[in-house]
């Protein structure tokens, strides 16, 4: 609200609001005059000039005749509020002022034709939201001390700078910027030779504009000082920017702009907790989830008993990444009971096998096995087995197979070493071999007798050129695939190599890929990665490197190649991203990566139930990342190619999603691998995600003054912050060990019975939905009183100094507490950057070095193999720390391991991606 409005009584506010709505909006609710919302919320450093900025906008509104409201409440970011404005100003905002839903509403506002202006610290805002980087045009990097500097005018005709002449000299806080976007048009450039501390060089824009989404944006980096907002040149600069943004004053129009479903309409239930390496998920005709575990077990979720039931176990070779990897049911399963499994049979024969078994009454008939296809593999080394099975809409079976290649001797780049005695170091023998099924997707039609035939449209029709089973080749580890059940398009995630940086001698850094095959093709690995970024030819025996491979005319001249030398042209990846933030796809973030492909959702394919995913997701492709723990929903063009995507339920905490499917009722089932490798993990779960299209249950809030006290204990509690998303009136009931003790929002009750008791808050809405919260009470004992006497410095600790203290603890019931029952711990902050210190301060005693180290490790894929204090596929971080604690050379050695990856040091192997 504007400052003048805030001082009016409620009745006057209501009247004036009604008049404004009548004047500003027609019956369609579209804005048709100039209207501005000035937003200035900060969640970090607050600029002292914000109030001066608000005053400037209020004065401008009075002089120029437009409507303005000022607020620091992020709750205004809803369609109902934002449609009142056609310009939103971020006035020196800092930190992360908007939550996920509010971010989505700002995106919708811009798509509806809204405009945005950012002033000064607006660039110091929302660093973890890539869309905001596009909106603002750059992020704050740093700034030197405040000083005079000269600004050059780059576009003298623009209305925001036309009054300045060629140069503008002023005193300000000069931001250095990072992640400056290509789409901006700079209009002001600060001259770094006229002041000290500039870090952007000759290209140092400080004001720019651009067309964006459905509207326009304008940013100016000047405006730190309070005096700026009464400076006629600066005020005219801002006003000119506003005139540019309004342009022809097109109204904001939300028609056709979809709203992302509210997160509170999704209910995430953990149906099963605790699994041992779950791999692939399938659904029985009655909707029950069935999944396989890598060590050979098959489980079904029983909704009657609300638990997982083991229904079968195969004897498998479960070494490296092999084992029981994939499962699918025949399209005619209801009639023929055929279950398809891809697994590694034990014994001397080194193959992975696609077979089918009779599955009747929740039992696998092992004697019914029909072997469909054996894939020869090299078992002496890891990695990349693949193993996802999917049927298409015409009954064709698709099987993904990894490249079966060890990546650790190629420095994270292309593994094309054909010089060794064992073949596992050259992916050209598999992924780029037209006569090998590994590193690709097989597509076949299984006949009634268990044999198979080759459908039309596969990559090779002539067996003399290539295996006719191949549909897609040139893949590294297509661990999870899905087939669009309407058009047969095949989607997969391909887990990429480990290199963190481009190499002028070897080729590009590693990228994960999300791909689609709309027709058969070669997708590049190991000659190319990402959007056909070229690797170099490399002789591992001599260490020499040659020219790059040609994606239009790829050649496989490996000594281990048994197929054609000339390969089909390489197809570029649809989506690709490295460990670092992707310039092309910034929404995908940064850090460890394991790309996976999920289903395409067609709403009419599922029963009309209140739990079916909403219309918003109709026709969207779901893909996800096993390491980054997100799910994305992507828009597709008419050919099935991704055009845009956004997170699904961004606040949902996932634990390495392994596979997902929609149930017959349109609910999403997800299995999670958990955080441990190659072992049973209590974090491995089966999730069911339901959408609630109807009335939502209330969300209770319980605030209890004291939960421990003597008997009798005065119990004070408040449920006033309970809420209902549908606006229903709520009724409250308080229970203590099952007995009702209150029915008002505020509770005051004397508890006389000593012991541990349970306080329950039950909140019920008008539709009869009830949600409960519990709080344990300890009655009959008082919390001890602790006094710490510090006779030394209370604020700072200096090396070689001593901290002198005395501790005294008394207890109402027990008197003075004996010293042996008192434990003293110390915590401290270390360093100069308080923001970074606080970030690392969540663990006692860990300061700046810890914060920086945790960030670096978190941005790699280390967490995929190592836990803090438990062994996984690699040793625990604490074990590594203890082993190298006294080694003065350890820091460089371990840094190399983090950057390049590695394995075998601890007697095992470090694998790249899910097993």
Give which of 492, 474, 428 is closest to 570, Cα–Cα. 474
DSSP 699: B
CA distance 253 to 30: 6
For helices 890-900 and 877-884, the axis angle rounded to 10 degrees is 150
CA distance 765 to 779: 31
Would you say 100 and 128 are in contact if contact means Cβ atoms under 8 Å apart?
A: no
- At a CB cut-off of 8 Å and minimum separation 6, what does 640 contact? 484, 487, 489, 516, 518, 621
DSSP 411: T
- Residue for token pair 């001599």: 542
Q: What is the pLDDT of residue 281?
A: 98
Taking the CA of residue 230 as centre, how many other CA atoms within 13 Å lie in the half-sphere pointing to its CB?
6
Global pTM reads: 0.78
Q: What is the pLDDT of residue 814?
A: 77
- At a CB cut-off of 8 Å and minimum separation 6, what does 823 contact? none
Strands (E), 616-677: 620-625, 630-636, 642-647, 657-662, 668-672
Give which of 264, 274, 267, 266 is closest to 671, Cα–Cα. 274
- At a CB cut-off of 8 Å and minimum separation 6, what does 27 contact? none
Query: Cα angle vertex 626, ends 622, 630, to 5°?
Result: 50
Q: Could you report the per-residue pLDDT of 782-794, keeping only the tens digit for each?
A: 888 888 888 777 6
DSSP 826: -
CA 632 to chain centre: 8
Would you say 82 and 37 are in contact if contact means Cβ atoms under 8 Å apart?
A: yes
For helices 232-246 and 50-64, the axis angle rounded to 10 degrees is 60
CA distance 133 to 841: 28
Burial of 623 (0-12, 13-18, 19+ CB in 10 A): buried
Q: What is the pLDDT of residue 895?
A: 59
Q: What is the pLDDT of residue 792?
A: 72
CA 472 to chain centre: 28
Q: What is the pLDDT of residue 789?
A: 86
Parts of the chain with a pLDDT under 50: 1-32, 832-852, 855, 873, 904, 907-913
CA distance 261 to 616: 7
Q: What is the pLDDT of residue 845?
A: 35
Buried b (16+ CB within 10 A) or exposed e, 629-653: bbbbbbebeeebebeebebbbeebe
- At a CB cut-off of 8 Å and minimum separation 6, what does 378 contact? 350, 404, 422, 423, 424
Query: Cα angle vertex 806, ends 801, 809, to 5°?
Result: 150
Task: Give the three-class secondary structure for 358.
Answer: strand
Does residue 235 come out as left (phi exceeding 0), alpha (psi in the -120 to 50 range) or beta? alpha
Q: What is the pLDDT of residue 803?
A: 81
Encoded tokens for 13: 């506010």
CA distance 675 to 863: 8
Q: What is the pLDDT of residue 6?
A: 34
CB atoms within 10 A of CB 442: 24
CA distance 618 to 636: 10
Q: What is the pLDDT of residue 56?
A: 98
Encoded tokens for 277: 């390496």
Q: What is the pLDDT of residue 876?
A: 66
**Can you give the length of the chain in residues?**
915
Would you say 602 and 485 are in contact if contact means Cβ atoms under 8 Å apart?
A: yes
Cα radius of gyration rounded to whole Å, the chain: 32
CB atoms within 10 A of CB 674: 23
Encoded tokens for 102: 């509010």
Q: What is the pLDDT of residue 583?
A: 87
- Torsion from C-alpha of 599, 112, 215, 125, nearest 10 degrees: -70
Q: Could you report the per-residue pLDDT of 233-286, keeping only the tens digit for each?
A: 999 999 999 999 999 877 899 998 988 898 999 999 999 999 999 999 999 999
Taking the CA of residue 143 as centre, how many other CA atoms within 13 Å lie in the half-sphere pointing to its CB?
19
């Amino acid at each position: 609200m504007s400052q003048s409005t805030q001082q009016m009584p409620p009745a006057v506010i209501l009247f004036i609001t009604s008049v404004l709505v009548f004047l500003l909006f027609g019956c369609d609710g579209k804005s048709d005059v100039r209207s501005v919302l000035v937003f200035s919320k900060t969640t970090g450093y607050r600029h002292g000039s914000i109030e001066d900025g608000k005053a400037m906008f209020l004065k401008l509104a009075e002089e120029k005749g437009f409507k303005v409201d000022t607020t620091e409440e992020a709750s205004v970011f809803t369609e109902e509020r934002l449609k009142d404005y056609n310009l939103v100003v971020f006035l020196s905002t800092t930190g992360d002022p908007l939550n996920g839903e509010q971010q989505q509403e700002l995106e919708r506002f811009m798509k509806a034709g809204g405009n945005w202006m950012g002033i000064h610290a607006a660039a110091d805002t929302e660093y973890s939201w890539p869309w905001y980087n596009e909106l603002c045009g750059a992020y704050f990097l740093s700034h030197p001390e405040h000083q005079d500097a000269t600004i050059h005018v780059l576009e003298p005709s623009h209305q925001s700078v036309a009054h300045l002449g060629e140069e503008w000299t002023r005193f300000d806080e000069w931001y250095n910027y990072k992640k400056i976007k290509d789409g901006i048009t700079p209009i002001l450039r600060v001259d770094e030779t006229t002041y000290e501390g500039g870090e952007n060089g000759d290209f140092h824009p400080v004001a720019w504009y651009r067309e964006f989404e459905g509207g326009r944006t304008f940013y100016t980096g000047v405006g730190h000082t309070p005096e700026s907002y009464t400076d006629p040149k600066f005020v005219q600069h801002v006003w000119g920017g506003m005139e540019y943004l309004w342009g022809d004053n097109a109204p904001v129009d939300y028609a056709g702009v979809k709203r992302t479903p509210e997160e509170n309409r999704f209910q995430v239930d953990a149906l099963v907790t605790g699994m041992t390496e779950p791999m692939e998920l399938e659904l029985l005709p009655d909707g029950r989830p069935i999944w396989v575990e890598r060590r050979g077990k098959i489980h079904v979720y029983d909704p009657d008993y609300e638990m997982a039931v083991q229904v079968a176990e195969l004897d498998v070779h479960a070494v490296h990444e092999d084992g029981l990897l994939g499962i699918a049911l025949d399209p005619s399963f209801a009639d023929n009971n055929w279950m398809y499994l891809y697994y590694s049979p034990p014994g001397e024969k080194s193959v992975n096998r696609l077979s089918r078994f009779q599955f009747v009454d929740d039992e696998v008939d092992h004697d019914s096995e029909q072997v469909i296809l054996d894939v020869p593999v090299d078992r002496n080394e890891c990695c990349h087995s693949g193993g996802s099975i999917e049927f298409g809409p015409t009954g064709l079976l698709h099987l993904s197979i990894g490249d079966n290649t060890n990546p650790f001797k190629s420095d994270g780049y292309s593994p094309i070493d054909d010089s060794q005695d064992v073949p596992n170091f050259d992916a050209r023998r598999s992924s780029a071999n037209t006569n090998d099924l590994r590193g690709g997707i097989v597509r076949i039609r299984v006949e009634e007798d268990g044999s198979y035939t080759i459908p039309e449209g596969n990559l090779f029709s002539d067996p003399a050129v290539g295996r006719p089973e191949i549909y897609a080749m040139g893949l590294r580890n297509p661990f999870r695939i899905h087939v669009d059940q309407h058009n047969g398009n095949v989607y997969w995630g391909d887990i990429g190599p480990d290199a963190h940086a481009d190499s002028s001698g070897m080729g590009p850094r590693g990228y994960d890929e999300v791909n689609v095959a709309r027709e058969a093709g070669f997708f590049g690995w190991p000659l190319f990665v990402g959007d056909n970024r070229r690797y170099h030819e490399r002789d591992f025996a001599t260490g020499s490197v040659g020219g790059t491979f040609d994606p239009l005319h790829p050649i496989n001249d490996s000594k281990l190649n048994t197929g054609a030398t000339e390969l089909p042209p390489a197809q570029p990846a649809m989506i690709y991203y490295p460990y670092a933030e992707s310039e092309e796809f910034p929404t995908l973030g940064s850090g460890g990566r394991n790309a996976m492909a999920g289903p395409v959702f067609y709403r009419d394919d599922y029963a009309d139930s209140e739990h079916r995913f909403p219309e918003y997701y109709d026709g969207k492709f779901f893909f996800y990342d096993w390491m980054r723990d997100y799910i994305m929903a992507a828009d597709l063009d008419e050919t099935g190619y991704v055009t845009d995507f956004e997170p699904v339920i961004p606040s949902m905490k996932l634990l390495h999603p392994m596979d997902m499917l929609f149930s017959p009722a349109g609910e999403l089932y997800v299995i999670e691998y958990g955080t441990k490798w190659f072992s049973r993990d209590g974090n491995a779960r089966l999730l069911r995600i339901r959408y609630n299209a109807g009335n939502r249950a209330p969300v209770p809030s319980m605030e209890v003054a004291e939960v421990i006290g003597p008997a009798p204990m005065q119990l004070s509690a408040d449920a006033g912050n309970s809420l209902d998303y549908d606006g229903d009136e709520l009724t409250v009931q308080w229970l203590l060990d099952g007995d009702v003790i209150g029915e008002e929002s505020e509770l005051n009750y004397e508890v006389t019975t000593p012991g541990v008791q349970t306080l329950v808050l039950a909140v019920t809405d008008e539709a009869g939905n009830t949600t409960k919260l519990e709080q344990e009470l300890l009655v009959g004992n008082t919390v001890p009183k602790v006094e710490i006497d510090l006779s030394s410095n209370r604020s700072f600790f200096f090396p070689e100094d001593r901290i002198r203290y005395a501790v005294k603890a008394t207890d109402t019931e027990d008197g003075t507490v004996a010293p042996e029952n008192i434990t003293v711990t110390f915590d401290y902050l270390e360093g100069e950057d308080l923001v970074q210190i606080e970030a690392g301060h969540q663990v006692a005693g860990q300061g700046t070095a810890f914060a920086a180290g945790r960030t670096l490790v978190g941005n790699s894929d280390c967490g995929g193999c190592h836990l803090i204090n438990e062994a996984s596929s690699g040793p625990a971080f604490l074990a590594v720390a203890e082993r190298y604690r006294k080694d003065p050379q350890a820091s460089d050695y371990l840094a190399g391991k983090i950057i390049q990856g590695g394995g075998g040091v601890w007697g095992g192997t470090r694998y790249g991606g899910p097993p």
